[in-house]
A = this chain, B = another copy of it.
């Protein structure tokens, strides 16, 4: 009896293991390429004129927006920017009236950077996972500090965004089409050898993608003034690559979704109210818990009580084995998020206990070229109670201000427990 029981226990994990092996096979086969810049509506046809895609799981209502200062500021600014409201007062009325449909970006193969939203006309970076035939998008990053996606929405912020999503998007789109596509994982592999974590620190990847695109930007048929302005914007934006990482990670995860019985996490995201995950075996279903706090470092003059609640889809980086999972290779990041290199390395290495594999391409020279921990397993998370960490920027709670710090977050165990229960049920 005891023997049969042991074999029976051994058999059940095997079915899950096989499902997980398939999820990992697809995940590790991913080859995301940056291929185009297009209005979101052309890539996501179901996106209506009054739809806005936001980070994290679906928001309950307008009061859920108002609880999250940066998101509130971002949506008000976006409504003005997209021509849906004449000013922020009207934008507030429109938002409160329920005339705007707020939808989860992740449910539409898109990623929302922090509190940034995507409308039908928003130009998006289009990423094709050529190996698996999946496509995902994210909006262009505005750079650090005062940016709409951090809730800043004054005239200067919106004027800059108008240029970014107008002239700059046109040049970038023309250049990337001329290039035939930019291999994003090739860049991330290099960036992990250059101090990036593939999430909060994107300095190397941003520099490399400019190197790759600069000749095509010069050949794209624009004047010297426009060409120089585009190059200057990219050169001055050391997180330019962040949305490319997000769309790349999302396109990879889309290939690993919906495998019956798989306990691999395919999405982690937050909307300022809730943090939630998706798991391969349960498809599109969200498992949510209240957003946890950030442990971080604040820019001069700010402190924890000024912080906006955690929000963003960029945790897709950690889900694919980057970000906090690769901090052992990004010692310069440790100070930025407020810790020591030793502690960042310890936390990062801890993630191997939650994951099923070491990434075959993403590796860390500082760990003698060991692959990054990849394939978060809800079983392991629940068994160890060591939940995944992720890196994040911090915006000010008050709408309209922008970034005030950076740090990392320990995700809530409840999501992983709920997912495991659903998989077993």
Contact = CB atoms under 8 A, between A and B. Distances in A.
Contact of A214 (B235, B341, B342): B235
A298 B369 CA distance: 20
Contact of A193 (B195, B219, B221, B365): B195
A170 to B, nearest CB: 16
A423 interface: no
A382 B229 CA distance: 55
Interface of A: 190, 193-195, 203-204, 207-208, 210-212, 214-219, 221, 224-225, 227-229, 231-232, 234-235, 331-332, 334-335, 340-342, 365-366, 368-369
Contacts of A235: 211-212, 214-215
A218 B210 contact: no
Interface of A is mostly: helix
A214 B194 contact: no
A132 B227 CA distance: 36
A212 B234 CA distance: 10
A350 B290 CA distance: 50
Residue among A218, A219, A368 with most chain B CB within 10 A:
A218
A210 B204 contact: no
11 contacts: A193-B331, A204-B204, A207-B207, A210-B210, A210-B211, A215-B229, A219-B228, A331-B366, A335-B365, A341-B365, A366-B366
A183 B331 CA distance: 24
A302 to B, nearest CB: 23
Given A194-B194, A224-B218, A231-B218, A365 B212 contact: no
Contacts of A214: 210, 214, 231, 235
A208 B207 CA distance: 6
Contacts of A195: 193-195, 204, 365
